[in-house]
Amino acid sequence: MQQRDIQGIVTDSDNVDRCFWCMGTTDYIAYHDNEWGRPVADDIYLFEKLCLEGYQTGLSWLTILRKRDNFRSAFLDFDFEKIARFDSSDVIRLLRDKGIVRHRGKIESTINNAKRMCDLVDEFGSLSNYVWCYEPDMNDRPEKITKGILSTLTQTPASGALSKDLKRRGWSFIGPTTAYAFMQAVGIVNDHIEGCRFRLLAEADRSTFKRPEG
């Protein structure tokens, strides 16, 4: 039986303490345990996350997570160089794809952002080099991540700066809240709640992660 305490930690039948938000489905638990908050430098994965966080706008992440394989198939595994060559016929194809979120604005945004991604890689060498420059100083982070603190972390000065600069570069569907969800997901910040077993594992990964030199 699951037991919830006041700090937002849930102990499941496997006796593992986890963040409250992931409980209820095995796919959400697996995402929480194995991906969320772990530092990433792979450009394809980073681009995918930026795109999917944009698709999440107005929806739940669980909805997007359950469609992720369909998104990967539809968008050629998020190979941004290939997506940048998509045309109007691809937009029509994607609007007919029941396996993804059929939102014209978001589909066209993905194609646009792939083109902007190519420009960014030309300038910085990689998306990883660029986004990790927005990792906040530890002094600017809360001393302890609790359920209450997490509820206030919908956006931060760092995510606002990332969003503003990407928009300046022509990216779309990347507001400061979306940017912060991205930063949480790829380990630029560690927002697992204090007491969650995977907070320690994520922090261990972050401590050995080689930050891009920019």
61 is an active site residue: yes
Contact 178, 167 (CB under 8 A): no
Name the catalytic one among 28, 61, 134, 171: 61
Name the catalytic one among 28, 36, 53, 194: 53
Name the catalytic one among 31, 45, 108, 135: 31
Contact 113, 172 (CB under 8 A): yes
- 5: nearest Cα among 194, 213, 211, 207: 194
Q: How many CA atoms lie within 13 A of 194 on its CB side?
A: 10
31 is an active site residue: yes
Catalytically active residues, by annotation? 31, 53, 61
